[in-house]
Structure 1
Amino acid sequence: MLQFKVDTDTCIQCGECAKDCPYMVIEMGEDGFPRAIADREGQCIQCQHCMTICKPGSLSILGKDPADSLPLKGNLPSQQQMETLVMGRRSVRRYKDEPVDSDVIARMLEISAHAPTGVNNRGVLFTVVDDAEVMTKVRTRTMEGLGLAVREGKLPEGLEFMADFVRLWEDKGVDVLFRGAPHLLVASSPKSGPCPDVDCHIAMTNFELLAASMGLGALWDGLFKWALTMILPDLMKDLGIPEDHKVGYAMVFGKPAVKYHRTVQRSDAKVNRVTAI
């Protein structure tokens, strides 16, 4: 049920909702008001474009009240603020030994889930470790599992360098894989989806930028992703990641023990500008 409703007292009959519906589920009725086309309701991908484009807030769908949405006017960051955020985010490899409040993490994940996904499938699953004791166990299990793989000669081809990280951990307590971060985030999505890898990457990018805006640090953790998906399948199962999911990426995050003061300077954008075809 789309629960498509229009307040005819406030609707200005502009037709923007019908024009913007990506799957042409909405049409303007003979009375001048929008309506859902009965035999096309099954085509709706629940993107809510119709509700967000309605200027007076006259349209409701899926039981959503437009009054509960955040207004965009006056609330968006300036171009300069976005430029600074994008250029100023850093890969953080030094963390304070203190957790981020679980309610803050929950809110970050809720916001990050607004990332676009293929055909709006919204299949990304965030597997998060927000408990310090659990994070310690994950770190220990990972390094013990890698150590066993090293001793049994079972490191996959191309990942032989993992043995160096195991030695650093066992001999000096140096945590190369997790960098001592208090939290871990793994994004996965059903393998049957249209683009599981891309969906996860976009969602994680949202999370990283949101973390940077809040003064938190994050690090894309390809080392742990390789360890998890190529060496430690039992750990992936214990983390509760479904078997029919593809792990897009992993990330560690927390309160940084380092402070950066300015953006880097780069002018090496690779651009292929098409001027004729």
Structure 2
Amino acid sequence: MDAMEAIFTRRSIRRYAAEPVPEDVVKQLLEAAMYAPSAHNQQPWQFVVIQDRQTLDRMPDFHPYSTMLKSAPLAILVCGDSSCLKSPYFWPQDCAAATQNILLAARALGLGTVWMGVYPKEPLIDGMRTLFGMPEQIIPFSLIAVGYPAEEKPRPDRFDEQRIHYDRW
């Protein structure tokens, strides 16, 4: 699948087949994440790959929008690492770019995903930090459910020329 096809057909998938995601595919997703652009090339990301069934099942206890994890074979927690920042301002954009790369790479590889926000909600950040025993400098940013889709969604029509302004508002 080419990049444009992946962009136009990527959808939030919340139902997954029981099939596990192979380790080499997980590595490809993480590699794609690490090729995201980052301000000053700081690459402030860290990733937690979550495959343990009990851990996946516990997350909806504190993250109210993560119930699909009960059927997902895998999740990836994208985190910012404040210890490597030369500038404190752009790490959320960097982590968002890494998250988007995971979503698009997953689509290109035949996987389904859904992006769940964590940052800047303190209860979600604290829940992730506690669950994974994270050090203070690690900031949970986004949680991505990953698996082979058990549902299909059509391509939406989202292009809206009314939102485009040339040279001035």
TM-score category, normalised to shorter length: 0.7 to 0.9
State how far apart, in whole Å, the 2-side matches of 1:235 and 1:221 are: 12
C-alpha distance after superposition, 1:93-152 (max 9, x if no partner): 1101121011220222123211111100112101111x3xx1x21234334x44xxxxxx
Give the corresponding residue for 1:198: 93
State how far apart, in whole Å, the 2-side matches of 1:266 and 1:235 are: 33
**3-state DSSP of counterpart to 1:178:** helix
Give the corresponding residue for 1:266: 158
Higher strand share: 2
Give the corresponding residue for 1:217: 112
- The normalised TM-score by structure 1 is 0.52
Asked whether the equivalents of residues 84 and 263 of structure 1 are also in contact (C-alpha less than 8 Å), the reply is no
Asked whether the equivalents of residues 95 and 179 of structure 1 are also in contact (C-alpha less than 8 Å), the reply is no
Task: Give the superposed CA RMSD.
Answer: 2.9
Higher Rg of the two aligned structures: 1
Give the corresponding residue for 1:97: 18
Asked whether the equivalents of residues 57 and 69 of structure 2 are also in contact (C-alpha less than 8 Å), the reply is no
Asked whether the equivalents of residues 215 and 255 of structure 1 are also in contact (C-alpha less than 8 Å), the reply is yes
Give the corresponding residue for 1:241: 134
Greater RCO, 1 or 2 (C-alpha within 8 Å, sep 6+): 2
**3-state DSSP of counterpart to 2:69:** coil
C-alpha displacement at 1:257, in angstroms? Answer: 0.8
Give the corresponding residue for 2:28: 107
C-alpha distance after superposition, 1:8-59 (max 9, x if no partner): xxxxxxxxxxxxxxxxxxxxxxxxxxxxxxxxxxxxxxxxxxxxxxxxxxxx
State how far apart, in whole Å, the 1-side matches of 2:76 and 2:27 are: 12
- The normalised TM-score by structure 2 is 0.80
Asked whether the equivalents of residues 216 and 254 of structure 1 are also in contact (C-alpha less than 8 Å), the reply is yes
1:183 aligns with 2:74: yes
1:137 aligns with 2:29: no
1:121 aligns with 2:42: yes
Asked whether the equivalents of residues 57 and 70 of structure 2 are also in contact (C-alpha less than 8 Å), the reply is no
The residue identity in structure 1 corresponding to 2:79 is S
Extract unaligned runs of 5+ from structure 1. 1-76, 147-158, 166-174
Number of aligned positions between the proteins: 164
**3-state DSSP of counterpart to 1:247:** strand
Give the percent of matched residue pairs that are identical in Structure 1 and Structure 2. Answer: 25
Q: Any residues of structure 2 matched to 1:45-56 within 5 Å, and which?
A: none
1:253 aligns with 2:122: no
State how far apart, in whole Å, the 1-side matches of 2:95 and 2:34 are: 10
